[in-house]
Amino acid sequence: MGNTVYYTTGILLFFLCLFIVLERKFPYSNPIPFFRKGFWPDLLWYTLIQSYFLKILIFDYLIIPLDNHFHLSSLQLITKWPIFLQVIFFLVTHDFYIYWFHRWQHNSKILWRTHEAHHSNREVDWLAGSRSHSLEILINQTIEFAPIILLGAHPIVVPIKALLDAVWGMYIHANIDVKSGRLKYLINSPEMHQWHHADDRKVFYSNYSTKFALWDWIFGTAFLAEKKPDRFGLYYPYPDDYFLQHIHAFKRIEEEKIAKHKYFGVYFRFTIWWHNLFIGKGNPPTIPHPGEDTSKADTTTADTLNALNGKVSD
């Protein structure tokens, strides 16, 4: 067990590099720049910082205290099962739960507010799946890992499950042109999940599955077209900044006012400088749906700061 973290990290890095190479060799849509818009918030804030602190919160302050109080793991309900069977059991049951919770998120105005950040990337690649509101992660990962510990599973099941989640999450979001054939009825892939992230209202209620696409086919929510999506992301403007994305779930804010604030303005000017340094000046304009009233549309963080700095988006 002591070396598990080294093995799982090595495997994760291998697949990360593999997906990056495959994205450049066989892109699903147009090739995406490595340092695409939103790369740094997705990598630094969502993947590294948020994941680290949520892991501590979920395990050390929620699941373990819960087990210490009720002593459920001492019942060892599945301890004697073979490890591979334990892993499969939690993969299937959790994926079934995620399908329905994900479907609920798209049908609930309240839950959608914590899920829309995940759909805000206009360029979907291996890293895009990491962008999820902390409340969404808190709910899902607590429900995911609590049963593993409380049912008395082998300790190695947690890192194995976490590794499979991470690899599959990168895979289904990767900008890779995959033709699954008949496997598409069983296993999820970019072929279906890229459509789930499309800026297309007719697929808003489709392709909820994470690992097993069969849930979508069984429950009538599968969508797959011959053509590929024209564009990705939300059909309405959404903040670029990590903190504003979190605040946005509770209160729709006017970013221009925030950017002009004495203290917050300094932070946002730094973010736009960082954005321009690694990605280039300006942002792609938000493309509204036909007939959408754009007179009251919000601006993104980068567009706001470009305006404040006397720059015009490309």
The Cα–Cα gap between 186 and 182 comes to 8
Cα–Cα distance, 72 to 90 (Å, whole number): 17
- Nearest CA-CA partner of 120 in 303, 292, 286, 293: 286
- Give me the helix-helix angle, 157-173 and 83-107, nearest 10°: 50
Give the other-Cβ count within 10 Å of 306's Cβ.
Answer: 21
Dihedral angle, C-alpha 94, 99, 105, 107, nearest 10 °: -150
Cα 97 to the center of its chain, rounded Å: 17
Computed over every residue of the chain, the mean pLDDT equals 86
Q: How far is CA 189 from CA 116, 218, 272, in A?
A: 21, 17, 34
pLDDT exceeding 70 applies to what percent of the chain? 80
* Mean pLDDT within 126-148: 98
What token pair was written down for 56?
């501590």
Q: Give me 172's structure tokens.
A: 């289904």
Tokens encoding 39: 């790369």
pTM score of the predicted model: 0.84
- Three-state SS sequence of 27-42: ECCCCCCCCCCCHHHH
The tokens describing 207, both together, are 């392709």
How distant is the alpha carbon of residue 74 from its chain centre? Answer: 34
CA distance 182 to 129: 25
Question: Does residue 128 register a pLDDT over 80?
Answer: yes
Question: Tokens 């599945």 appear where?
Answer: 78
Answer whether residue 133 shows pLDDT above 90.
Answer: yes
For the segment 78-109, what is each residue's pLDDT rounded down to a tens digit? 999 999 999 999 999 999 999 999 999 999 99
DSSP 261-297: STTHHHHHHHHHHHHHHHT-SS-PPP-PPTT---TT-
**In whole angstroms, what is the distance from residue 105 CA to residue 132 CA?**
12
Q: In the prediction, which pLDDT does 29 show?
A: 87
Residues in the chain: 314
**Domain edges within the chain:** 20-218, 242-308
Confidence of residue 280 (pLDDT cuts 50, 70, 90): low
Q: What is the pLDDT of residues 178-232, one digit of tens each?
A: 999 999 999 999 999 999 999 988 899 999 999 999 999 999 999 999 889 999 9
Q: What is the mean pLDDT of residues 292-302?
A: 42
